[in-house]
């Protein structure tokens, strides 16, 4: 079931009431009160859309900034690795894992064929 667009329905109802009888009042709801509520909802939707765009822009900017920062960190680590070696304490200080602390790959043993 499609999501209802209440703002569109309100706009259609306002136009219909203007044709039927602009002075019609249903309980405490007049055309003026309906239009006021409609205008507030439209303004709120515009503010929300603007805020969502700003959040998207900030999020995209954050991704770009973090990507640039990560590239710099990798370059610094690689530079320290090149200068001091991949088993140095300096390399470990900048976030690298020393070669002597890395796991050695397990040797694969051949399994005898089953008959």
pLDDT in tens, 12-61: 999 999 999 999 999 999 999 999 999 999 999 999 999 999 999 999 99
Q: Exposure string (b/e) for 49-78, b if CB count within 10 Å is 16 or more?
A: eeeeeeeeeeeeeeeeeeeeeeeeeeeeee
Angle of helix 31-84 relative to helix 6-20, nearest 10 degrees, comes to 160
Q: What are phi and psi of 73, to 5 degrees?
A: -60, -40
Q: What per-residue confidence (pLDDT) applies to 103?
A: 80
Q: Give the domain ranges of the chain.
A: 6-99
Do the Cβ atoms of 44 and 37 come closer than 8 Å? no
């Amino acid at each position: 079931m499609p999501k209802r667009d209440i703002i569109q329905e309100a706009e259609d109802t306002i136009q219909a009431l203007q044709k039927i009888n602009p002075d019609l009042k249903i309980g405490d709801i007049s055309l003026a009160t309906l239009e006021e509520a409609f205008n507030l909802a439209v303004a709120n939707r515009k503010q929300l859309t603007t805020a969502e765009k700003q959040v998207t822009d900030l999020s995209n900017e954050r991704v770009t900034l973090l990507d640039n920062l990560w590239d710099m960190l990798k370059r610094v680590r690689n530079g320290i690795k090149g200068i001091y070696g991949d088993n140095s304490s300096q390399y470990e200080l900048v976030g690298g894992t020393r070669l002597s602390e890395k796991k050695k790959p397990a040797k694969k043993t051949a399994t005898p064929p089953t008959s």
